[in-house]
Amino acid sequence: MFADTAKIIIKSGKGGNGHVSFRREKYVPDGGPDGGDGGKGGDVIFEVDESLNTLNDYRHKRKFAAQAGEEGGKKNCHGKKGEDLVLKVPAGTIIRDALTDKVIADMSGENKRQIILRGGKGGLGNQHFATSTMQAPKYAQPGQEAIELEVRLELKVIADVGLVGFPNVGKSTFLSRVTNAQPKIANYHFTTLNPNLGVVDMGWGDGFVIADIPGLIEGASEGIGLGHEFLKHVQRCKVLIHMVDAASVEGRDPIVDIHAICKELEAFDPALLEKPQVIAANKIDAFYEGENETIAALRAEFEPKCWKVYPISAVSGAGVKELISEVKQMLDQMDDTPVYYEQEYFPELHVFENEAYTVSYDEEKQEYVVEGPKIEKMLGYTNIESEKGFLFFQKFLKEQGILKELEGRGIQDGDTVRMYGLSFDYYK
């Protein structure tokens, strides 16, 4: 069965606890603390596998967890890092937070591998807590907790051109003629049950990908039938080909059909109607003249909208070359950048949203101090040494209202902010 959606629960690895131990050697009667640090928990990583084209692997198993980090040991031995969990998905898979439906990652284009949940940081062993007044600390830091999240995987077909139309208008036959795809072709009123993709070869290594979007029905945008499952595949397409039965073999009115499909496209996502569109008036082999009243009516109705009408026969190939040439010309005039969904949801930001933080001022050191489990955990999950990580941490401070509170306390450019051993210069 073709699967293009799945809902699963993913969990990163818990950080290993720091260890409490003391040196016990024959000639060292009062050995100091030597408890090792805990290992970092494993990350949950999504990776594109070009050999996959469905999400079937996630239909029967729902829970996936990375390995926890090991506890630290004696003699300053650090715990082993937890093994990462790598989940393989097809190109074009969008990962969304199941609760808010916001995008966490879009696994398409150059984004072949992305860490979705970071493992917990390992806790520090008791050797780190020795001071001049406390030389035998019996305390070690626990490892950071794992992050668990329910996500929805959604596969959107990646194609330059989307072929839309009601069932039995000849889309599968057309696709088999112009591409290397081999869809099942028959008079199915229940239509193709999964999108078929094929590459149109224009010669000299030039071409484009076309997708036969399963036949739509009225009410699809409201979820009737498999509407939502199919309509989302249109979103990535740059050009749409409306295919209609110009011979009205089943008594359908092509103009009414196009308006009905446009209504469903607009109801699902108004931006879909802004895409360049062209009309393929199929089955001209069913009547003697090159054009009939239906084709003339289609031209009168849609060419004022700049939607060109091409009479074709998917069976004989008549008019197909002209249609494909027009579509390729339309694509050549467009931006080559693929449709990409930006990240809207950052799991690390929301894990700590119910935990408190404090902002104070250290008069002695003349520094602003920000503390709390929320800050400590965020620092553990974020690599602030990288530009991307630092920008992410700044976004966290802004969204949590911490920057606003610092400003309310009178912080000025150049003032120092201290967070768990890390110091930053503040600049607005």
* Angle of the 293-302 helix axis to the 254-268 helix axis, nearest 10: 30
Provide the token pair at 426.
Answer: 């503040």
Concatenating the DSSP letter of every residue in 382-412 gives --TTSHHHHHHHHHHHHHTTHHHHHHHTT--
What pLDDT, on a 0 to 100 scale, did the predictor assign at position 189?
37
* Contact criterion met (CB below 8 Å) for 172 and 196: yes
Q: Residue 256 class from Cβ within 10 Å (0-12 exposed, 13-18 middle, 19+ buried)? A: exposed
Q: Please choose, from the candidates 174, 185, 180, 183, the residue with its C-alpha nearest in 3D space to the C-alpha of residue 198.
A: 180
What pLDDT, on a 0 to 100 scale, did the predictor assign at position 202?
73
User: What are the CA-CA distances from residue 393 to residues 40, 358, 410 (Å)?
Assistant: 20, 17, 21
SS3 call for 418: strand
Residue 321 CA from chain centroid, whole number = 36
Low-confidence ranges of the chain (pLDDT < 70): 1-3, 26-31, 132-133, 157-158, 180-195, 197, 203-205, 214-230, 287-291, 336-339, 349-356, 373-374, 376-386, 388-389, 421
What pLDDT, on a 0 to 100 scale, did the predictor assign at position 194?
57
Question: 147: Cβ–Cβ under 8 A, 6 or more apart, which residues?
Answer: 11, 12, 117, 118, 120, 347, 348, 351
Q: Please choose, from the candidates 425, 399, 423, 402, the residue with its C-alpha nearest in 3D space to the C-alpha of residue 412.
A: 425
Q: Please choose, from the candidates 289, 11, 263, the residue with its C-alpha nearest in 3D space to the C-alpha of residue 147.
A: 11
Q: Please choose, from the candidates 280, 303, 134, the residue with its C-alpha nearest in 3D space to the C-alpha of residue 210.
A: 280
What secondary structure letter does DSSP report for 310? E
What secondary structure letter does DSSP report for 371? E
What secondary structure letter does DSSP report for 360? E
